[in-house]
Amino acid sequence: MRLAKLFFGLAACTLAATPFTAVAQQPIVIKFSHVVAHDTPKGLAAEYFAKRAAELTKGKVKVEVYANSTLYKDKEEMEALQLGAVQMLAPSLAKFGPLGVKEFELFDLPYIFDNYEELHKVTQGPVGQSLLKKLEPKGVVGLAFWDNGFKSFSANTPIKTPADLKGKKLRIQSSKVLEEEIRALSALPQVMAFSEVYQALQTGVVDGTENPISNLYTQKMYEVQKHLALTDHGYLGYAVIANKKFWEGLPADVRGQLEQAMKESTIYANKIAKEQNDKDLEAVKKSGKTQVYTLTADEKTAFKKALAPVHVKMESRIGKDLLQSVYKETGFDPSKF
Ligand code: LMR
């Protein structure tokens, strides 16, 4: 099934990739695959990009957006991009380790960004640019960083202190930093594809998870989690990426128009991310299915203290110099907790 999908994807890609000059009338098709719902920061931004790409190229490019893992799941989509079966993705920054670009896991470090402003100093500045460049040897072009938001823990029992998560099986994305984060809470990390989380929570394969509210809400995870604590303990955002051979093979004028569409989509994505998460938090509260708990300042400090050692432990994985340059941008000092 998986192989068949890749085969048909590749066949479609070959058809889409060859006729730039041969069949001038045919639009260039870009398959943009992702794993979240349409009505999320990433889903909406992908649609916005598709719209602007069509407008700016005057129909020369058709971006087909495949949401909700309908085309590929997490791991498969990375393989599909490298093989050229899809042309664009926007995986979470926590999912680049298996590609061999483990530096992206710096974004998973607990409490490294207090807010979007601090984060943007990194993603929209020189450090972000240097990170995107690291993708090129993998046959991947990094086009932009898109925001989602700050993660909170959910489970079926109340969460006020780190000890409340002790011994729980918690689903995480495929990041070694996140594995260490969960271990620092004396809990058990379970790496799992995003598309499988709802069912795993429902059937008790895992006890809880972490995600920004927009994902918790749009995947209906709140229906199968009785408690949500607004820990805001880490960031989840995306790198928008393209198959390098495909991107560089585009006619220069078309590529320029797509770069402009991406610039506009990034502004849009990063504008709506907080709004979507705030809106979805209200919806979760209204549902009455999950009790939403706001930590006191002391309770938040207890989480920061419990998670601070993750920075030290993961320093060599991320790279000391890179980490220091991020701390410099954000003013973060793990020894302060
Ligand atoms: C997750 O797997 O929890 C997220 O990376 C999903 C996403 O793309 O936001």
Q: Read off the tokens for 35.
A: 């794993």
Q: Which residue has the tokens 């209204």?
A: 286
When pLDDT is averaged across residues 251-278 and rounded to a whole number, the result is 98
The model carries a pTM of 0.93
Q: Label residue 54 by pLDDT band (50, 70, 90).
A: very high
| Element housing 169 (H / E) | strand 169-172
> Which pLDDT tens digit goes with each residue over 209-231?
999 999 999 999 999 999 999 99
Q: Which residue has the tokens 């990094």?
A: 142
When pLDDT is averaged across residues 298-313 and rounded to a whole number, the result is 97
Of 112, 137, 85, residue with least CA distance to 246: 85
Q: HEC profile for 229-242? A: EEEEEEEEEEEEEE
- Mutate-to-test residue for ligand 1 from 33, 34, 35, highest number of ligand atoms within 8 A of CB: 35
Of 205, 225, 202, 211, residue with least CA distance to 172: 211
CA 188 to chain centre: 22
Between the CA of 305 and the centroid of ligand 1 the distance, in Å, is 26
Closest ligand 1 atom to 194 CA: 2
Q: Read off the tokens for 46.
A: 């992908």
Between the CA of 251 and the centroid of ligand 1 the distance, in Å, is 32
> Which pLDDT tens digit goes with each residue over 306-323?
999 999 999 999 999 999
> Which pLDDT tens digit goes with each residue over 65-112?
999 999 999 989 999 999 999 999 999 999 999 999 999 999 999 999
Of 180, 277, 172, 197, residue with least CA distance to 230: 277
Of 148, 132, 149, residue with least CA distance to 140: 132
Between the CA of 62 and the centroid of ligand 1 the distance, in Å, is 25
What sign results for the dihedral spanned by CA atoms 300, 176, 37, 205? negative
Q: What mean pLDDT, rounded, does the chain reach?
A: 93
Superfamily of domain 2-331: Bacterial extracellular solute-binding protein, family 7 (3.40.190.170)
> Which pLDDT tens digit goes with each residue over 254-266?
999 999 999 999 9
Rounded distance between C-alpha atoms, residue 81 and residue 241, angstroms: 9
The alpha carbons of the chain give a radius of gyration, in whole angstroms, of 20
Half-sphere exposure of 194 (CA within 13 A, CB side): 26
Looking at residue 20, its pLDDT comes to 52
When pLDDT is averaged across residues 6-28 and rounded to a whole number, the result is 56
> Which pLDDT tens digit goes with each residue over 140-197?
999 999 999 999 999 999 999 999 999 999 999 999 999 999 999 999 999 999 999 9
Cβ of residue 175 lying under 6 Å from some atom of ligand 1: no
Domain spans of the chain, in order of start: 2-331
